[in-house]
Chains A and B, each alone.
Chain A
């Protein structure tokens, strides 16, 4: 008994809250580093670079910025606890991060309850700014809807009548498919959807899925697959000749995280959203790329840009607010304009979504590597539903 009590007291001693608070501004960062390392290692390097730049140039409001970074364990329940720790023990002034949509939504919900600003960096779900949007939550990356809207003009230009859909079976895939059906039907009346396949995320049985798609004889395919699923789909599809007869439009397919592993199997001619880091030669991007390569001796992925911009967004917001109070921060971030490696973006007051865009282009092979060609930057501001629709969804 006494031994148990001793051990118990040990728990408390170790876990009890730290005292004192420095003069630095604390940003609580949490992400699923061990669950999605391929995307989040570059993300971490991105915000670390931004942090060093910010502090080198004198910090924010005359104070140094400190990022307290945590692994959120990859589940909403753990993430909420980690966020609580950042809020109550670390006394973080702002929360930032998360990757998976369910984790992002759970933390956004907590931020609303605890009245702390939360900048959701990665989650793609439309709901985080619409149905489940709240005052305290802002989101950086272009949402599923926005990225679909960016691809639809290219899909319509293909002028194919029979479309098949293949998506990972969870909210991201389902809402991508729903938006694509709606927007393409609107852009190209009379289009037909002949098959839909929704394999479990990360567990696609690619041979059977490709075979089933072939049987439906589509002229074009809309895919929202990524990571392992995309690699398996590409290999089976090219072996079985699916892509000879059907054009493909693939959400996220040009992001280096998902494109690079394909190497010499990169399917040519696919329309994708992504990040052609080699070829973007605007001054702002060149500056970022050079700094990143110098700091990390590695090329930037999309995650790097997201991490970099997320931290700058927080810093710029605090600068504009001149304060760390949540209400003032919200007021400052709403309508904030800032420079990013992708050009200028605006934080929409309407739904707290940034207008960061994505690059739309076609896949090609160069020297055994996948690259994007014929690309252009699709501005996030131009790929949004009407303000009324957004207001109706936000129920405000």
Chain B
């Protein structure tokens, strides 16, 4: 690269960093104060884009940006006061479920309101052209964007450090209860912070329309970018988010400039993994203060009811006698996801380690099964038996890094590893079949009938669940829970907390691998979606829906979610929104999970 090429790519990186920072700042602020992992942040950004594009038709671009931002802030206000306020006291991560439901609803609402076509916004009047920099043309609007990021950063910094309101916000981020005890009106503060975060998201979206068309897919893309920036910077740290946005923006621009554009598929996750391995709380983050309150109290789990499991097994075993063939197909899926959810539950519940990337092990199991069958030409039975070992191995490798962290940082590191695994499967065309995946992964002839495969799935899944339950009820399970509830006391009585957690990762990975391998043979093909973020999120939703603090909850959560998806997608036009609405109702009605 010539000197001027470097300069231009540097400026491109700065423009990218600015728009990253605008989304991330709001997310960081909301997390810092209310500890809400706001999945819907990208949806608010998308809303800002669509509003700005349609408003700019009548009002012109410059007026549409602040107006769209204000409207999104108002939407944030409504969301906070009608929904989130009801569930602050619920167990941690339940808010995540609620905001996930919002993602589904907002996306379908946008489809309904604005139609399916992408909407290319106007160029910014007055800044539509380019300026010559180092003999090359650089868009004028990008120069404005480069200034906009730092301007918002300074404004936020002044707001937080120089005003009384900012002091309250900082106090609440450090210790919510202490702030409340000193007379800070928590409710009003939370509402204001959420609205401010929504305002920033809306502003980020609206100000992006000269560079980016409004489309329905943008929400999750922006959400994952924003998460990465917030975590790399350190949760709740605005300067950290700014620094992280700069880092990621520049790394991306130079990947492209140097001709490694394929790397941009996962580069931000690689950066995040590296940062978290060396700095467990992000670049400028601090260890989080412990939150106290009903949400964090974990009552001891009831002893596992093997009677329930046995009854279930008998019931399920006689289903094929009277049910039609499709019921068996659907039940096979439900059983596979029930095991997937149960394995995730070992980490999230007794382990206290939220994993946002559990699909990695599911996918590793599926891919290993497929590769052993198709590439190594092993018999299907052997492939099925060996695949979970690869998943367990993967989980042990990833888990070793993850157990050094805790809370959301740990969750995000699992996500980063899952995304890296996904991009390898996606990219390694020769081995994994790339984006198309592996085709022709069918079970052995004696298992090829739906009934035979159903019974295999039934035996393996319920057997695995029984093993998991037995493990949770064993000394290992108790040690794991002790480490979750009080790491210090657990260490004092001689429990190696990290070793327990590490083992839990391996076991959870093993069983997720069993589920993945069963899934592969039931579908006949595998593609990278088996280890993608949506698959991980599905797992989270199943566990949270059923209840983290129960044993059988994840099974019911998996059954309910899979069945909802299957039946709603058949009969309802806006079925995603319908699923979202059902989840919202359940979250508000049963904040501890439906089967608690």
24 A-B pairs with C-beta separation under 8 A: A15-B326, A17-B326, A37-B216, A38-B117, A41-B116, A71-B570, A76-B523, A77-B523, A85-B570, A102-B435, A106-B439, A132-B439, A170-B426, A174-B429, A202-B221, A205-B253, A207-B12, A209-B256, A211-B257, A215-B5, A231-B213, A241-B130, A241-B137, A260-B117
For B305, the closest partner residue in chain A by CB is A1
Closest partner residue, chain A, to B255 (CB atom) = A208
**Residue B592 at the A interface, CB < 8 A?**
no
Q: Establish whether residues A113 and B442, one from each chain, have CB atoms under 8 Å apart when the complex forms.
A: yes
Question: Assuming the A-B contacts A8-B315, A105-B525, A215-B1, are A81 and B333 also in contact, with contact meaning beta carbons closer than 8 angstroms in the complex?
Answer: yes
New contact pairs (4) apart from A5-B311, A202-B217, CB-CB < 8 Å: A105-B436, A205-B253, A231-B213, A235-B210
B330 touches A199 (CB 8 A): no
Is the beta-carbon distance between A12 and B319 smaller than 8 angstroms? yes
Return chain B residues, CB-CB under 8 Å to A7. 556
Tell me which residues across on chain A come within 8 A of B528, comparing CB atoms: 102
Cross-chain contact B118 with A228 (CB below 8 angstroms): yes
- In contact, B435 and A71 (Cβ under 8 angstroms): no
Query: In whole angstroms, how far apart are the Cα atoms of A87 and B221 in the complex?
Result: 35
Question: Does residue B60 face the partner (Cβ distance < 8 Å to A)?
Answer: no
Considering the complex, which residues of chain B in the window 491-506 have a beta carbon less than 8 Å from any beta carbon of chain A? none
Q: Name the residue on A nearest B8 (C-beta).
A: A211
Bound complex: CA A309 to CA B267 (Å): 42
Residues of A within 8 A of B211 (CB): 206-207, 232, 235-236
Q: Is the interface of A mostly helix, strand, loop or mixed?
A: helix
Chain A hits for B565, CB < 8 A:
73, 78
CA distance A200 to B575 in the complex (A): 28
Chain A, 31-54, contact with B by CB distance < 8 Å: what is the 0/1 string?
A: 000100110110000000000000
State the Cβ distance, B533 to closest chain A Cβ, in Å.
12
Query: How big is the B interface, by class?
Result: 35 or more
CB-based contact A5/B261 at 8 Å: no
Bound-state Cα–Cα, A175 to B120, Å: 28
Neighbour of A17 across the interface among B108, B123, B325, CB < 8 A: B325
Within 8 A of B (CB), among A114-165: 125, 127, 132
Among residues of A, the one whose C-beta sits closest to the C-beta of B213 is A231
| Residue in B12, B119, B329, B527 whose beta carbon sits within 8 Å of that of A211 in the complex | B12
A337 within 8 A of B: no
Q: How far is the CB of B322 from chain A (nearest CB, A)?
A: 8
Q: Are A261 and B117 in contact (CB under 8 A)?
A: yes
Q: Which residues of A contact B252 (CB under 8 A)?
A: 205, 208
The main secondary structure of chain B at its interface with chain A is helix
Quick one: which of B16, B128, B130, B434 contacts A205, CB cutoff 8 A? B16
Contact assessment for B529 and A76 in the assembled complex, using a CB-CB cutoff below 8 Å: yes
3 smallest A-B Cβ distances: which pairs? Answer: A17-B324, A37-B116, A89-B326
- Report chain A residues within 8 Å CB of B118: 38, 227-228, 231, 261
Given A80-B524, A203-B221, A263-B120, are A88 and B139 neighbors across the interface (CB < 8 Å)? no
Given contacts A76-B527, A211-B12, A215-B1, whether A200 and B213 have CB atoms under 8 Å apart is no
B586 to chain A minimum Cβ distance, whole angstroms, is 13
User: What is the bound-complex CA distance between A196 and B435, given in angstroms?
Assistant: 19
CA distance A173 to B435 in the complex (A): 11
How distant is the Cα of A89 from the Cα of B327 in the complex, in angstroms? Answer: 9
Residues in A neighbouring B442, C-beta threshold 8 A: 113
Are B257 and A208 touching (Cβ within 8 A)? yes
**CB < 8 Å: which of A102, A110, A227 contacts B436?**
A102
**Does B43 reach chain A (CB closer than 8 Å)?**
no
* Residues in A50-83 with C-beta less than 8 Å from chain B: 70-71, 73, 75-78, 80-82
Indicate which residue in A70, A239, A257 contacts B139 across the interface (CB closer than 8 Å).
A239
Point out the residues of chain B lying under 8 angstroms from A203, CB to CB: 221, 264
Q: Does B55 contact A (CB under 8 A)?
A: no
A211-B257, A215-B2 given; A81·B329 CB < 8 A: yes
